[in-house]
Amino acid sequence: MEELVARVTQATGLDATTARTAIGHILAFLQKEGPAAEVNQLITAIPGADSVVSQASGTESGGGGLMGMLGGLMGGGVMALGQKLMADGVSMGQMQPLGRELFAYGREKAGEDVIGPIVGSIPGLSQFI
């Protein structure tokens, strides 16, 4: 996980704690929205991913306030993920480099045959990677 966090911080300018939290939210989102077999392969291929997913899943109670309401109105999906990331300090300009780096790392560790079906199954995800 440290290698991925370092790559994300370099690509985005985020601090390591925010990068780790963002990675956890993205992987938890993929676990919820993507094809189970491929997402599980991806999480297994990234050292320490299961821990950040558990942490992110523990904090994802739907969110409160305006952000939670907006996520609920949008029906979840990529837009709700974007709202979570913004609430955790990731700017719109940092989301695409974050996604690109995470998925590039995923391709290196798990292969395109794992990443392709994940990206293809979630509407709107391809614009962030």
Q: Domain segments of the chain: what residues? A: 2-128
Is the pLDDT score of 84 beyond 90?
yes
User: What are the residues whose beta carbons fall under 8 Å from the beta carbon of 4, sequence distance 6 or more?
Assistant: 23, 46, 101, 102, 105
Mean pLDDT of 2-17: 98
Residue 65's pLDDT band (cuts 50, 70, 90): very low
Provide the token pair at 82: 């974007």
Q: Is the dihedral of CA 116, 110, 49, 1 positive or negative?
A: negative
Task: Answer whether residue 98 shows pLDDT above 60.
Answer: yes
Question: Distance (Å, rounded) from C-alpha 37 to C-alpha 18?
Answer: 27
Global confidence as pTM: 0.86
Cα distance between residue 78 and residue 33, in whole Å: 9
- Average per-residue pLDDT for the chain: 88
Closest by CA position to 68, among listed 47, 84, 53, 54:
84
Rounded-to-integer distance, Cα 115 and Cα 106, Å: 7
- Please name the fold of domain 2-128: Globin-like (1.10.490)
Q: Which residue has the tokens 């990675």?
A: 23
Residues present in the chain in total: 129
Note the pLDDT of residue 126.
85
- Please report the pLDDT score of residue 17 as a whole number: 97
- C-beta separation of 119 from 126 below 8 A: yes
